[in-house]
Amino acid sequence: MDGTPSYDGDMSVVQQRLQELGLVLPCAPMPVANYVPTIICGNELRTSGQIPMRDGQLQFKGTVPSCQSVEEAQEAARLCGLNALAAASSALDGDLDQITRVLQLRVYIASDSDFDGHSTVANGVSDLMVAIFGDAGRHTRVAMGANTLPLGATVEVEAVFQIKT
């Protein structure tokens, strides 16, 4: 297998892959301030920063590694990625098969001043995108630390997807 998901039955390729991975796409989070969740410009869909929310509740709060372990922060990044996909799904009327490539991820990690494992944390969302989209999930990336993030979140992720036009 070349890493590209295959199509089987009535379910979309992305939906099938999520199911195979045991993942459920959450409801698209609502903005917590004055911005829109996504913008489509040409053949790009850009998401606003997504924090690790599930069912309206922040799941991971505080800095790495004093409040959250690297492994917990990776899980937070993965949840942010699922939220970015949920936002994209909402913008694409539920059809994630319109995504042809993950172009870029920006991963912000609330971290202690001496923490330098940002790339390891960011792999939580990077690995997710490759698992879902195969080779089309390989992307450029920024992983950087911040002393705080919105609502005290551990991780925030922005995504840029290439879509069918």
Q: What rounded mean pLDDT belongs to the chain?
A: 93
Is 8 part of any domain?
no
Whole-Å CA distances, 135 to 61, 67, 129, 132, 153: 32, 34, 9, 9, 30
Is 129 part of any domain?
yes
- The string of pLDDT tens digits covering residues 3-45 is 544 444 567 899 999 999 999 999 998 887 899 999 999 999 9
Report the pLDDT value the prediction gives residue 43, as an integer from 0 to 100: 98
**Is the pLDDT assigned to residue 64 strictly greater than 50?**
yes
What average pLDDT does this structure show over 101-126? 98
Domain that includes residue 141, residue range: 13-29+39-163
Is 52 part of any domain?
yes
Hey, which residues does 1 pair with through a beta bridge? Answer: none
Report the pLDDT value the prediction gives residue 31, as an integer from 0 to 100: 86
The structure tokens listed for 24 are: 């459920």
105 Cβ neighbours under 8 A, 6+ residues apart? 81, 122, 125, 126, 129, 139, 140, 141, 142, 157, 158, 159, 160
Report the pLDDT value the prediction gives residue 10, as an integer from 0 to 100: 65
- Residue 142 belongs to a domain with what CATH number? 3.30.1330.40
* CA separation for the pair 146, 7 (Å, rounded): 40
pLDDT confidence of 2, banded at 50, 70, 90? very low
Is 22 part of any domain?
yes
**Is the pLDDT assigned to residue 53 strictly greater than 80?**
yes
Is 142 part of any domain?
yes
Is 34 part of any domain?
no
Is 3 part of any domain?
no
What is the pairing mode between strands 38-41 and 44-47? Answer: antiparallel
- Total number of domains constituting the chain: 1
Is 1 part of any domain?
no
